[in-house]
Amino acid sequence: MSDFEAVIGLEIHAQVSSKTKMFCGCDNDSFGKEANTNVCPICMGFPGMLPVPNEEAIEKGVKAAMALGCNIPPHSKFDRKNYFYPDLPFGYQISQFDEPVSEKGEIEILVDGEKKKIGITRLHLENDAGKLTHTGNDTLLDYNRSGTPLMEIVSDPDMRSSVEAKEYAETIQKILRYVGSSDCDMEKGMMRFDASVSIRKKGDTNLNARAEIKNLNSFRSLEAAINYEIKRQIKLWEAGAPHNIEQTLSWDDDRGTTQIMRTKESAADYRYFPEPDIPELDIDPEQIKNWQDEVPELPMVKYERFLKDFNLQEIEARFYTEDSKLAEYFEEVAKATNPKSANSFVGTILIKRLKDAGKTISDSPVTTAQLIELIQLVEEGTISNNVAKSDLFDEMMSSGKNPKEIVEEKGMAQVSDSGSIKTYCEAALAANPQAVEDIKNGKMKAMGSLVGAVMKESKGQANPKMVNEIFKELMGL
Ligand SMILES: [Zn+2]
């Protein structure tokens, strides 16, 4: 590898999270539905059908493009991309060719803590094809997916390794989710990647013939396919026969290899022409401005703000900003209490309990208000940190009740009454003469076992600070 560098670009297809399909009123959620039950004459491509662009899908596509830093020209249009394939009942795909809804953006990704800029060539809108299932000699067709709205996001060839490509794809996923344009659920096929890979001598600036690996449907396959392809092309180069024609490849996940499907199509092969059934798309500049204002704070900006505002480690800031809902939750708790307690209660306790319960932050039984109340109970000394993070938290998770209510019901309040603590301490001194002797000889470590004895007897409810003070008082230290 040392003499060579990889040049990688990605095309990402992400399903727009609109209610209905791109050009008809069919439900945009076909997941788990019986084959060919979520279709109509429009998405089946019947003769005479009239596609109508989905305004919600256009708005979500444009907002995604804005979040990727793209320019939004006021004028764009849809085109027919002609090719014949059984999963495409129209004989063409409705896509955007020379006047897409957006172009020329840029995002930043984090690779090993370093920021890197990746150019976005364009984001355009199109509809998806159906699904073919091959069984023995038969092929089954399901058109439920046909007409599903897609954003195709094309990157510049700015990535140099599979790690960067994976980081880029994950960043795009995060951004699309933040802006609410796609759920990007990989399991449901809502996000797929085509990776273009070529190799050149280090220091060269030319672009050599690419191989495009189609339809990678997981981050793991994306990384594996790119690594395989880089190695394959280097071998060809070293054998004196560099890869020199544009090719389209498929990836075999089981075997971990790529296979050549065909030489790569050029735009001319698709005989693009303007879609005659759909009026050209003109978006009012005022509308563009309004949409721009609605784009939320993006993950990288939030990440940097969290580092600064909450004094977090990089890994923590990254963790909280992976998901906008988690980021909001953390921020609300941190602002109402303090970042250190928020970090401890959200980042370790809550997240672990949610994971164990198979839940996410969005369906957390513990609300931000309840968690804030819990932290306040600890800080004012009503309950011990220990109780807050164990029995009381468990009870909040299972009952959904407010912590104050549970503390009263279950008698979990910390014992801060000096009379009761004194009784516990006197009993501990009487029961542990050796520890008392050690402390008198200056072995302060023995204090731990005395405090431990009180905590045990009081079921963790004695205020530890007071326990320490009262021991010192009783022993005249
Ligand atoms: Zn339909």
In tens, the pLDDT along 114-165 reads 999 999 999 999 999 999 999 999 999 999 999 999 999 999 999 999 999 9
- According to DSSP, the residues that pair with 134 across neighbouring strands are 139
Residue 381 host element (H or E): none
Cβ-based neighbours of 206, under 8 Å, separated by 6 or more: 200
Q: How far apart are the first and last CA of the chain?
A: 69
Residues 6+ apart with CB under 8 A from 124: 61, 95, 96, 100, 101, 102, 151, 152
Q: How far is the CA of 220 from the centre of ligand 1 (A)?
A: 33
Query: Does residue 195 contact residue 248 with C-beta atoms inside 8 Å?
Result: no
How close is the Cα of 185 to the center of ligand 1, in Å?
22
Query: By the 8 A CB rule, do 71 and 104 touch?
Result: yes
Specify the amino acid at residue 91: G
Identify the burial level of 196 via C-beta atoms within 10 angstroms of its C-beta, where 0-12 means exposed, 13-18 middle and 19 or more buried: buried
Task: Report CA(82)–ligand 1 centroid distance (Å).
Answer: 20
Ligand 1 center from residue 132 Cα (angstroms): 18
Residues 16 and 176: their CA atoms lie apart, in Å, by 9
Q: 222 CA to middle of ligand 1, Å?
A: 31
How far, in Å, from the CA of 21 to the mean position of ligand 1?
Answer: 7
Ligand 1: centre distance to CA 57 (Å): 14
Tell how far the Cα of 281 is from the centroid of ligand 1, in angstroms: 21
- Secondary element (H or E) of residue 94: strand 92-95
What pTM does this model have? Answer: 0.86
Helices (H), 264-323: 285-294, 299-309, 314-321
Tell me if 100 sits within 8 A of 123, measured CB to CB.
yes
By the 10 Å C-beta count (0-12 exposed, 13-18 middle, 19+ buried), 469 is classed as middle
Residue 241's contacts (CB-CB under 8 Å, 6 or more residues apart) are: none
Per-residue pLDDT of the chain (477 residues; tens, 9 = 90+): 468 999 999 999 999 999 999 999 999 999 999 999 999 999 999 999 999 999 999 999 999 999 999 999 999 999 999 999 999 999 999 999 999 999 999 999 999 889 999 999 999 999 999 999 999 999 999 999 999 999 999 999 999 999 999 999 999 999 999 999 999 999 999 999 999 999 999 999 989 999 999 999 999 999 999 999 999 999 999 998 888 888 899 999 999 999 888 777 777 789 999 999 999 999 999 999 999 999 999 999 999 999 999 999 999 999 999 999 999 999 999 999 999 999 999 999 999 999 999 999 999 999 999 999 999 999 988 888 888 898 899 999 999 999 999 988 887 777 767 778 888 898 999 998 888 889 888 888 888 889 888 888 887 778 888 888 888 888 887
CA of 74 to the centre of ligand 1 (A): 28
Distance 383 CA to ligand 1 centre (A): 58
Both tokens of 192, joined, read 């797929």
Radius of gyration of the chain from its Cα atoms, rounded to whole angstroms: 30
For residue 48 the two structure tokens come to 């005479």
- What is the 141 CA–ligand 1 centroid distance (Å)? 16
CA of 143 to the centre of ligand 1 (A): 9
CA 182 / ligand 1 centre spacing (Å): 20
Alpha carbons 470 and 472: distance in angstroms, whole number: 5
Residues contacting residue 426 through CB under 8 Å, at least 6 positions apart: 474
Distance 39 CA to ligand 1 centre (A): 4
pLDDT tens digits along 56-90? 999 999 999 999 999 999 999 999 999 999 999 99
Give the dihedral of Cα atoms 449, 451, 453, 459; nearest 10 deg.
-140
